[in-house]
Amino acid sequence: MTEQKNNFNLNSLLKETAININKEDKKNAISVIKNTPLPNSKIENWKYTRVSKLGNINFENNKANIDNISRYIIDDTKYSFIFINGHFSNIHSSKKIPVGVEIKVLSKKNNEFVNSSLKIKGEIFNAINTFYLNDGLLIDIKPGTKLEKPIQIIHILKGDNIISNFKVIINAGESSNSSFIQGFFCDSGNNNFCNSTSEIQVAKNAKLNIDKIQSESEQSFHINTEQVKQEQESIFKINTFTLNGRIVRNNLNIHVNGQNCETHLNGAYVLKNNQHVDNHSIVDHKVENCISHELYKGVMDDNSTAVFNGKVFVRKNAQKINAFQSNKNILLSDNASINSKPELEIYADDVKCSHGSTIGELDQNSIFYLKTRGLSDKSARNILISAFFQDVINNIENQNIKGYISQLLNDRFEWNF
Amino acid sequence: MIEIKNLHAKIEGKEILKGLSLNVNKGEIHAIMGPNGSGKSTFASILAGKEEYDVTNGSIVFCGEDLLELSTEERAWAGLFLAFQYPIEIPGVSNINFLKTAINEKREKNGHEPITAKDYMNLVREKSKLVELNAKLTSRSVNEGFSGGEKKRNEIFQMAMLNPKLSILDETDSGLDIDALRIVANGVNKLKNENNATIVITHYQRLLDYIVPDFVHVLMDGRIVKSGDKDLALKLEKNGYDWIKKENDI
Amino acid sequence: MANYTEDQLAQDLKNQEYKFGFTTDIKSDKAPKGLTEDIIKLISSKKQEPEWLLQNRLKAFKIWKSMENPNWAHVKFTEPKFQDISYYAAPKQSKKYESWEDVEPEMKETMKKLGISLEEQKRITGTNVAVDFVMDSVSVATSFQSKLKELGIIFCSFSEAVKEHPNLVKRYMGSVVPPSDNFYAALNSAVFTDGSFCYIPKGVKCPMELSTYFRINEGETGQFERTLVIADEDSYVSYLEGCTAPQRDENQLHAAVVELIAMENAEIKYSTVQNWYPGDKNGLGGIFNFVTKRGLCEKNSKISWTQVETGSAVTWKYPSCILKGDNSIGEFYSVAVTNNFQQADTGTKMIHLGKNTKSTIISKGISAGKSNNSYRGLVQIHKNAKNARNFSQCDSLLMSDECGAHTFPYIECKNKNAKIEHEATTSKIGEDQIFYCLQRGITEEKAISLIVNGYCKEILNKLPMEFAVEAQKLLTISLEGSVG
């Protein structure tokens, strides 16, 4: 496989962001974009994911309209915010905002300053996101607010060679309890690319849950960076389901800054054809007495490839950390592959950290057993795959989301869950 | 043998023992009973010298020595043995090697030569019979992969090997079926003589059908609130602890 | 209360003196410092090497010059000043030792201090261990030659092999670890001075352990030895390797290359007890141990690496198996102890190419003091490696709150019939285990030693008997302090 050293293609079709972000950040961002080649496999963090082809595409950004978006609505919550190609869709979005929550569309902030702490240096995709930011949401959950219904944020790509730079900022106030649904879809088009970032603050004693479904198309690219900061006694939970996309890369960077926090990262990835999904996570335990738990499971068919890289840091003096990490994979085809790299980097002694990784195929004995009971090969496999995913699926509390995922899996893989 | 006076102890600032007093003489078996959370296991841990507990008041004299001044291993050398409620697993360390180390450390402190391999193996053979412990278990890693019953039998086997003056059996009956219970109790009875003593800590009376105590004490709210003979245990089994609570205004 | 705490243990570990820190007063023949083509020619001519070998060295030197010192390992150190090292230091001794009696008393004394005098070996084990002793890169004594010869086994110094068995050396040297493999392999290929060579003919089960002891003695030298073990079809050999070095304030470089070739149905068991000088309690001095070890497995063969690593200031070492032949087996059993300022980045690579290949990785890391101990391993299942199996277990034990324990496994799988299981745990030494031991009258120091030895038992059991005893002693030295 040849690999070119490619830079991101700066063309005249792309416009500097109109959103008022820190000038210094923009300056740094454009300098990173100009001077940093797109990562190649020599970069440890991108060893298994080749994105240099992104440099060959002349990206542009256009607004688009979609008449009926009902099939992209995951939950019938009252609070849904829809973006198409990174632009806020007024028609499709809810007008209602839950009590105790302030939601601002970034482009409508009347040029109000958007505060970002995203790491730009050395992070080409964050730089692109910053410099070309199209739109996004700023969500403040006021202290003590307990949301009854989730807030749903849906992003849809439409058109050829589209790049969407999209951002969500969530500040979950002290002792608040909130839940978010994020959906990423592709309506139509080739070579489109959703480059999204999230900056999330979980304040003291707050609880924040995110259920994310990524189901774009086999022609679309998706890179997502989530930067999360947790204060003391907070609970952060994210479930990521990746069901479609040509190349999907997720970066979850969790900074656990306060004591007695809980962090739960769960994910499932289901791939076929030539798909490539790469889940990178870092849980950085900076202080004592915290728990983190990570479970990622994947099934790969055809020529697909998955990457898992989970890293747990326990800093010096961050005693009594209980960190657990597990990655389990099933390969369904002779041409599918998986690269798994669970890592522990530990500088405190009174800790309990462990990780596990398994790779295998569906258990032939179980298939045989089910067949002797009269199941077809297909339904035997179906049952075993659904059993394999059961614990990840069970991490979703919202029944509507579960139902939606089952439907997607059924549509795409003909699996009944 | 052991004289405990007005023992007060705390863990993480919380007072668990609030003036416990108890005398045990040579040749006696004492049972300590009490509801959950009354401080029974705390009492056992403090006797063995577990560091998390703070003794804030009171005294313990063991065979003429101030027990509280001794480290855990010094207490063991002085002849105090604790059969753990949950015996600890130590992977890779064989039972045989473990006990040999324990025996030789004690011998060394007392100025004796290490035990010879022959004597040691004879001792193992003799004592393992006592609790019907499979010879295979003696060469396996300490408690690793042992069933609940095997672990408890292993505790009594260790007790037999170390020949203590005072044995404290902490909920030794928990998790045992009736056969295992009989074997364990049988072992304890055989080890009993006029020069040693046993404190049996238990939740249920049924163990006391097999190990017959000379005295039964009720531990409640961190103190011994009632003492009697073995009939007290039967009464507790029948009537529960509430009547004692009432009697003592707890 | 028990007054020996882990803190005190940590303190004792800091004060632990290196037991093998002595130098041997033997006149040595040392090349001028620095590395140039001339120096390489000098080494080659000193060793009266054939032209092809000189050419190989010069080629490797060219490759080395084009490479950079690797920086991906989880270790920090000042790059050795390659021009300040003397690349050749032989004991001044032109004649070859005909028998053990010919060896100078000083040399014998050195071996004795290492606990490996040949007589002693014979006495302790009651069986035979053939020893090749390499001091400052030159093989000084190889024993049991004649007995091995009867079986057709070749066990000699690398230099001798170059002279006596040039075809074997030419054919296999660099076949598993080519000079271009990495920076230090290239350096070694250019400047290696000696090492051990072993060939087991078809169908022969080597009846004794073959053993090499390496020692760095001179100051300002590096040791660059090569080991080549070839086990022909249906043969078996168990090979041992031990290493020590004197205490010095400077960092000395040890960059060895070990190549193993297991032909069809052959089995090689390679055991290492590495105890290079680790530096003092302030992190001054110590050996930089940058070693490339790799074995090639043909059909139905087996290579088993066992290592107990207690020494070196910085270790960078991944004994690997290329499981080329169908049904071949690779194993890696490792105990790595780091203390004070030691840094170890060690693990293995299991490359599954053939069908039904199997690999097992058991790694136990113990970190104390301010040290950093990393496991880095690669399990790679290639497309045609049907039914490949791997099991990895990497456990880390932490003994102080200033040390680090890290796990970096890379698992790459391209075959659906493969079955891979990887597990890793990191934890502190169990306080409840220590309490249990104390209650049975075992002192804290002994308890820790018992628990650590138990923790490593799986690995120690894989070592040949006499080595296991030495390894256990080393662990105890590293992890026992003197209780006041």
Residue C482: its pLDDT value, please? Answer: 24
Give CA–CA dist B220/B206, Å, rounded. Answer: 20
What is the C-alpha to C-alpha distance for residues B170 and B164, in angstroms, rounded to an integer?
15
Q: Which helix (H) or strand (E) holds A222?
A: strand A220-230
Residue A184 near residue A155 (C-beta atoms within 8 A)? yes
Domain ranges of chain A: 23-258, 364-417
Q: Is residue C473 very low, low, confident or very high in pLDDT (cuts 50, 70, 90)?
A: confident
Confidence check: pLDDT of C43 > 90: no
Collect all residues with Cβ–Cβ distance below 8 Å to A415 and sequence separation of at least 6: A382, A385, A386, A409
- Neighbouring residues of C197: CB distance < 8 A, sequence distance ≥ 6: C154, C155, C156, C157, C158, C160, C161, C165, C168, C169, C227, C228, C229
State whether C453 and B92 contact (CB < 8 Å). yes
Cβ distance of C453 and B93 shorter than 8 Å: yes
C426 in contact with chain A, both atoms CB, cutoff 8 A:
yes
Mean pLDDT of C286-296: 91
Looking at residue C336, what is its pLDDT? 92
| Euclidean distance between CA atoms C390 and A332, whole angstroms | 18
**pLDDT > 90: what percent of chain A?**
76
Nearest CB among C2, C455, C457 relative to B71 is that of C2
Task: Name the residue facing B93 among C438, C450, C458 (closest C-beta).
Answer: C450
Q: Is C425 on the interface with A (CB under 8 A)?
A: yes
Q: Please tell me which of A116-120, A138-142, C123-127 the model is most confident about, judged by mean pLDDT.
A: A138-142
Q: Which residues on C lie below 8 Å from B92 (Cβ)?
A: 453-458
Give yes or no for residue C243 having a pLDDT over 80. no
Contacts of B88 in chain C (CB under 8 A): 430, 432-433, 435-436
Give C248's pLDDT tier (boundaries 50, 70, 90).
low
Type and span of the H or E element at C446 = helix C444-455
More confident residue, C217 or C78: C78
Least confident piece of the model among B90-94, B243-247, C118-122: C118-122
Instruction: List chain B residues with CB under 8 Å of C438.
Output: 49, 71-73, 76
Grade residue C245 by pLDDT with cuts at 50, 70 and 90: low
Residue of B185, B176, B246, B186 lying closest to B218 (CA atoms): B246
Residue C117, pLDDT above cutoff 70: no
Give the pLDDT mean for C423-451.
Answer: 90
Under 8 Å CB-to-CB from C206, ≥6 apart: which residues? C148, C151, C153, C200, C235, C236, C237, C238
> For chain C, what is the mean pLDDT?
81
Residue of A337, A341, A348 with shortest CB distance to C410 = A341
B218, HSE (Cβ side, Cα atoms, 13 Å): 24
Q: C366: which 2 tokens?
A: 């113990």
Nearest chain C residue to A313 by CA: give it. Answer: C406
Residue A377 has phi, psi (to 5 degrees) of -55, -45
pLDDT value at position C128?
A: 44
- Do chain C and chain B touch with ≥3 beta carbon pairs under 8 Å? yes
Q: How confident is the model at residue B141 (pLDDT cuts 50, 70, 90)?
A: confident
Given a cut of 80, is residue C120 above it in pLDDT?
A: no
Q: What is the mean pLDDT of residues B165-185?
A: 88
Distance CA A126, CA C403 (A): 34
Mean pLDDT of A354-375: 87
Indicate the pLDDT class of residue C102, thresholds 50, 70 and 90.
low
With a cut of 90, say whether residue B60 has pLDDT above it.
Answer: yes
As given in the structure block, the two tokens for residue B23 are: 């005398």
**Which residue would you say has higher pLDDT here, C139 or B4?**
B4
What homologous superfamily is domain B2-248 in, according to CATH? P-loop containing nucleotide triphosphate hydrolases (3.40.50.300)
The answer, yes or no, to whether residue C101 has pLDDT greater than 60, is: no
Residue B136 has pLDDT above 90, yes or no: no
Question: Does A76 score more than 50 pLDDT?
Answer: yes
Instruction: Tell me what pLDDT residue A413 has.
Output: 83
Distances (CA, A) of C481 to A393, C247, C396, C444, C448: 51, 20, 21, 11, 10
Q: Is 50 exceeded by the pLDDT of residue C84?
A: yes
Reduce the secondary structure of B89-134 to three states and give it as a string.
CEEEEEHHHHHHHHHHHHHHHCCCCCCCHHHHHHHHHHHHHHCCCC
H or E, element range at C251: strand C251-254
Rounded Cα distance between A59 and C483, Å, is 70
> What is the structure's pLDDT at C53?
92
Distance from CA of C112 to the nearest CA of A (A): 39
What's the angle, vertex CA C99, arms to CA C95 and CA C105, rounded to 5? 80
C 411-430 residues with CB < 8 A to B:
430
Beta strands in A315-401 (DSSP E): 322-331, 337-346, 352-360
Contact indicator for C311, C278 with CB cutoff of 8 Å: yes
For position C25, what pLDDT does the model report? 52
Q: How much is the mean pLDDT over chain B?
A: 89
Q: Does C76 touch chain B (CB under 8 A)?
A: no
pLDDT category at C431 given cuts 50, 70, 90 is confident
Looking at the predicted structure, is the pLDDT value of residue A243 above 70?
yes
Instruction: Inform me whether the pLDDT recorded for A257 exceeds 90.
Output: yes
pLDDT band at A186 (very low <50, low <70, confident <90, very high): very high
DSSP B8: E
Residue A114: which pLDDT band, with cuts at 50, 70 and 90? confident
Could you tell me how far CA C225 lies from the centroid of its own chain? 11
Give the pLDDT mean for A368-387: 84
Please give the pLDDT value at position C139.
Answer: 53
Mean pLDDT computed over every residue of chain A: 92
CB C356 within 8 A of CB C384: no
Query: Chain B contacts of C2, Cβ < 8 Å?
Result: 49, 51, 71-73
**DSSP codes of every residue in A202-216:** E-TT-EEEEEEEEE-
| C chain contacts of residue A316, beta-carbon cutoff 8 Å | 401-402
Confidence grade of residue B139 (pLDDT, cut at 50, 70, 90): confident
Select the residue from C403, C411, C431 to test the A interface by mutation, using most A Cβ atoms within 10 A: C411
How far is residue A88's CA from residue A154's CA, in Å, rounded to a whole number? 10
Identify the pLDDT of residue C77.
82
What per-residue confidence (pLDDT) applies to A5? 63
Q: Give the rounded distance of the alpha carbon of C87 from its chain centre.
A: 20
For residue C430, which residues of chain B lie inside 8 Å, CB to CB? 88, 90
Pick C280 or A55 by higher pLDDT: A55
- The mean per-residue pLDDT over the stretch B223-230 comes to 90
C124 pLDDT more than 70: no
Whether the per-residue pLDDT at C42 is higher than 70: the answer is yes
Q: How far apart are CA A80 and CA A69, in angstroms?
A: 12
CA–CA dist C258, C307 (Å, integer)? 14
List the single residue in B82, B88, B162 with the smallest CB-CB distance to C433: B88
**A3 pLDDT higher than 70:** no
Q: Which residues of C touch B141 (CB under 8 A)?
A: 454
State which H helix or E strand residue C161 sits in: helix C158-164
pLDDT grade, residue B39 (50/70/90)?
confident
Residue A130 has pLDDT above 90, yes or no: yes
The predicted pLDDT at position A1 comes to 41
C127: pLDDT confidence band, cut at 50, 70 and 90?
Answer: very low
Q: What does the block give as tokens for C452? A: 């650590």
**Above 50 in pLDDT, residue B91?**
yes
* Residue A2 pLDDT > 50: no
pLDDT over threshold 90, residue C409: yes
Domain ranges of chain B: 2-248
CB contact under 8 A, A333 and C416: yes
**Tokens, residue C205:** 């089960």
> Which segment of A41-45, A103-107, C95-99, C229-233 scores lowest on mean pLDDT?
C95-99
Q: What H or E segment, with its residue span, contains residue C45?
A: helix C37-46
Quickly list H helices, A251-310: none
Please, where are the H alpha helices in A36-101? none
Model confidence at C436, in pLDDT bands (50, 70, 90)? very high
pLDDT at C483 over 60: no
Q: Which residue of chain B is at minimal alpha-carbon distance from C441?
A: B73
pLDDT of residue A211: 97
SS3 B19: strand
pLDDT over 50 (residue A222): yes
Nearby residues of C129 by Cβ (< 8 Å), 6 or more positions away: C121, C122, C208, C209, C210, C211, C240, C466
Identify the pLDDT of residue C276.
Answer: 81
| pLDDT at residue C348, rounded to an integer | 96
